[in-house]
Structure 1
Amino acid sequence: MAFFKEELMNVKGFAFDVDGVLSRIIQPLTAEGDPVRTANIRDGFAMVHAIRTGYPLAIITGGNTTEVRKRYQKLGVTHLYMGSLDKITFFEDFLKKTGLKESEIMYMGDDLPDYLVMKRVGVPVCPNDAVTEIKSVSKYISDRNGGEGCVRDVIEQVLRAQGKWIDPEKLHWSSF
């Protein structure tokens, strides 16, 4: 685990899947048969802090709903890629737009569409309930399930390691 902690120092950007990472995998369905995505408020808080601290952050998801788009736009995510299982193309666009290297990205995925991207990034991570193939390529498996704070877990670890996490004694709510 010490090796993983050292690798956190190299992270300069984040990318996350939605279903199974930012949202729980068991979800009610609408009358149209679409899943109703969940959102973890603590994940969102950590994402806002990371963005405001200067970390580029991408959402790369096969889903394509107005609700998900609005949620992450409100949090300040400017690299929002939706509607394709070909996540490599989206990932390469994120790298091009940010100027970051693959080795500087932490990517969190949970299922097979995330596999190829996770093989390329410097720090692949996953929630506790990810599928076996994703766990096998992850350098860290959160103790939290998808949609239950796993994103907060990894963002907080990176920012703490780099001395950029929030000091509650100096927290000014006007900055959020």
Structure 2
Amino acid sequence: MEISYKQLLPKITTFIFDVDGVLTNGMLTIMPSGELVRHMNVKDGYAMKTALNKGFRVCIISGGTNEAVKSRLAALGIEDIYLGAHNKIVQYKEIVKKYNLTHNEVLYMGDDIPDIPVMQKVAMPTCPNDAVPEVQQTAKYISNIKGGEGCVRDVIEQVLKVQEKWDNYFDATL
């Protein structure tokens, strides 16, 4: 009997996300100065901040190196931000060791080929609905939302709801 992805959600303690194509739509605006501008969805930010406030770990592993991205994520309270990661399994193993995690506790969301090695390790590999076909084949859950449009909020909200940690009202203590 095949296990439903929903049955894996109660054990999740740690979220790991890629940036480009997950927290952003994967598009880059190239400014005249050469600066690359990315767009992030505030709903994803709210969900990540909520998860942190509820005691979950939120980590970032990205091949990109944009310092503005790092600043935005750090401002949300995310401490484990790995940029310039081209072999993401190295940073994944570091996170697992640092927090003494099992693979069953980890949800990872990626959208492209470099994400597959980590997705193959975690209990809950996920992706946005515009991820490349190889990633979609690896995922146990494909969000119905595209990268940069709230797919991170989608998976965080599902985990928190299953664990009865999602509040359907504004909590001023956040």
With normalisation by structure 2, the TM-score equals 0.95
Matched, 1:121 2:138: no
Cα distance in 2 between the residues matched to 1:148 and 1:107: 17
**In 2, Cα distance between equivalents of 1:31 and 1:92:** 39
In the alignment, the residues of structure 2 paired with residue 109 and residue 172 of structure 1 have an alpha-carbon distance, to the nearest angstrom, of 30
Rounded Cα–Cα distance in structure 1 between residues aligned with 2:36 and 2:137: 27
Structure 1 residue 54: Cα displacement: 0.6
5+ residue gaps, structure 1: none
Identity %: 43
Alignment check: 8 A CA contact 2:27 2:38 kept: no
Confirm or deny that 1:16 pairs with 2:17.
Answer: yes
- Which whole-Å deviations, capped at 9, do the CAs of 1:12-71 have from their partners, x for residues lacking one? 110000000001112311235453111100000000010111111100000011101100
Q: Find the counterpart in structure 2 of residue 148 from structure 1.
A: 149
Equivalent pairs counted in the alignment come to 173
Residue 65 of structure 2: aligned partner: 64
Query: Counterpart in 2 of 1:111?
Result: 112
Q: Which amino acid aligns with 1:157?
A: Q
* Higher helix content, 1 or 2: 1
- Pairing of 1:74-85 with structure 2 (within 5 A): 74-85=75-86
Root mean square deviation of aligned Cα: 1.4
Aligned to 1:92: 93
Counterparts of 2:79 and 2:108, CA distance in 1: 16
The CA distance in 1 between the partners of 2:168 and 2:138, in whole Å, is 33
**Secondary structure in 1 matching 2:22:** coil
